[in-house]
């Protein structure tokens, strides 16, 4: 498998990855400028930047950088016991220097859409203009087959998906199934399993939210952590068409990602109501 095939495979499967490229070399060393290696968060690797201590160190760097989705440029001296300014010394005897560029090529965030209806489809169209990895789940064959703009599609039950595939920690979940019952099942499964999400939003009316909160507090107690629960979903932008709701949902996800606090979320419109329940 060549580097670009590996990058495509990682992307299609929602696996974060780093591409490491040799961008400069001076003196003796085991690799030439332009050589590449790709390392996935699952530690699968393809290509090479020279082997030995250099490649081992590069893979260790990839593990750290994947966690923060960061890029990095770093220079290495391949001569144990020697020191150069702004250069990392590695236990090698070649004597030359090599500079590697680490490039993050994964998604900005992972979004799960539970339900493949009109709002979900419109939200996927907006999200796909940015580097999100989108997974859609629905048990209705006709709607999941017609769904576009998703990286992965699963024709299966909503809770069954969570039980079988799980959810990535710190991912973003949009719940807009065709039934209140299914919506509740998804969110309650997340609570039961204590899955650490950055965001979980439910498409609903204030009346539906009242019903959900009442049942949730009865089941989990008043101390249940709903700090990452956004419902009614979206920012208070106005408009009720699928396209307008999709922009509201996407904007809210971006506000959470970028930690923007001076934003009016729809859930804040029912703040007093939430405190009552």
Name the residue with tokens 């003796």. 28
When pLDDT is averaged across residues 170-178 and rounded to a whole number, the result is 96
Least confident range from 140-144, 165-169, 185-189, 264-268: namely 264-268
Strand pairing category for 97-104 and 17-26:
antiparallel
For residue 204, give the DSSP letter. Answer: -
In angstroms, the CA 80 to CA 65 distance is 25
Coil, strand, or helix at residue 89? Answer: strand
Q: How high is the mean pLDDT of the chain?
A: 91
Strand blocks (E) in the chain: 17-26, 36-40, 45-47, 72-77, 88-89, 97-104, 109-114, 132-138, 152-155, 172-175, 199-202, 229-230
User: What's the pLDDT band for 151 if we cut at 50, 70, 90?
Assistant: very high
Coil, strand, or helix at residue 199? Answer: strand
Strand pairing category for 172-175 and 199-202:
parallel
Residues in the chain: 277
For residue 117, what are its two tokens?
A: 């209806």
When pLDDT is averaged across residues 186-212 and rounded to a whole number, the result is 94
Residue ranges and CATH numbers for the domains of the chain are 3-104 (no CATH), 109-276 (3.40.50.720)
Measure the CA angle with vertex 99, ends 93 and 100; round to 5°.
110
pLDDT at 13: 86
Confidence check: pLDDT of 216 > 90:
yes
Q: Encode pLDDT of 38-63 as tens digits.
A: 999 988 999 999 888 999 999 999 99
pLDDT at 273: 52
Name the residue with tokens 């209705």. 140
Confidence check: pLDDT of 276 > 50:
no
Confidence check: pLDDT of 271 > 70:
no
Cβ(127)–Cβ(120) under 8 Å?
Answer: no
132 contacts: CB under 8 Å, gap ≥ 6: 107, 108, 109, 110, 111
Cβ(135)–Cβ(174) under 8 Å?
Answer: no
For residue 259, give the DSSP letter. Answer: T
For residue 113, what are its two tokens?
A: 């859409």
Q: Encode pLDDT of 64-109 as tens digits.
A: 999 888 999 999 999 877 877 788 888 988 888 999 999 999 898 9
Measure the CA angle with vertex 50, ends 46 and 54; round to 5°.
105
Question: Burial level of 72, CB count in 10 A (0-12/13-18/19+)?
Answer: middle
Confidence check: pLDDT of 198 > 50:
yes
pLDDT at 277: 42
Does 232 sit behind a cis peptide bond, omega within 30 degrees of 0 on the bond before it? yes
In angstroms, the CA 86 to CA 63 distance is 22
Cβ(158)–Cβ(185) under 8 Å?
Answer: yes
pTM, 2 dp: 0.84
Confidence check: pLDDT of 117 > 90:
yes
Instruction: Please report, for residues 26, 45, 68, 107, the alpha-carbon distance to residue 128 in angstroms, rounded to integers and kept in the order given.
Output: 42, 27, 21, 11
């Amino acid at each position: 498998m060549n580097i670009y095939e590996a990058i495509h495979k990682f992307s299609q499967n929602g696996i974060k990855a780093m591409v490491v490229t040799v961008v400069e070399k001076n003196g003796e060393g085991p690799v030439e400028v332009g050589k590449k290696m790709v390392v996935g968060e699952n530690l699968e690797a393809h290509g090479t930047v020279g082997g030995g201590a250099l490649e081992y160190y590069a893979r260790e760097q990839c593990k750290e950088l994947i966690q923060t989705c960061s890029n990095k440029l770093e220079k290495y001296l391949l001569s144990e016991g020697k020191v150069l300014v702004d250069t990392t010394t590695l236990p090698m005897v070649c004597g030359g220097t090599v500079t590697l560029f680490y490039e993050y090529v994964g998604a900005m965030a992972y979004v799960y859409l539970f339900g493949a209806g009109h709002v979900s489809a419109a939200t996927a169209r907006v999200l796909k203009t940015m580097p999100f990895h989108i997974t859609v789940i629905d048990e209705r064959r006709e709607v999941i087959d017609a769904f576009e703009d998703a990286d992965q599609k699963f024709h299966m039950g909503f809770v069954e998906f969570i039980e079988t595939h799980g959810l990535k920690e710190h991912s973003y979940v949009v719940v807009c199934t065709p039934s209140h019952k299914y919506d509740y099942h998804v969110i309650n499964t997340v609570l039961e399993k204590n899955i650490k999400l950055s965001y979980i939003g439910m498409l609903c009316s204030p009346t539906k939210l009242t019903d959900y909160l009442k049942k949730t507090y009865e089941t989990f107690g008043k101390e249940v952590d709903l700090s990452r629960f956004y419902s009614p979903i979206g920012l208070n932008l106005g408009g009720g068409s699928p396209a307008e709701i999709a922009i509201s949902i996407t904007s809210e996800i971006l506000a959470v990602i970028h930690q923007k606090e001076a934003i009016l979320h729809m859930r804040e419109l029912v703040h007093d109501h939430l405190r009552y329940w």
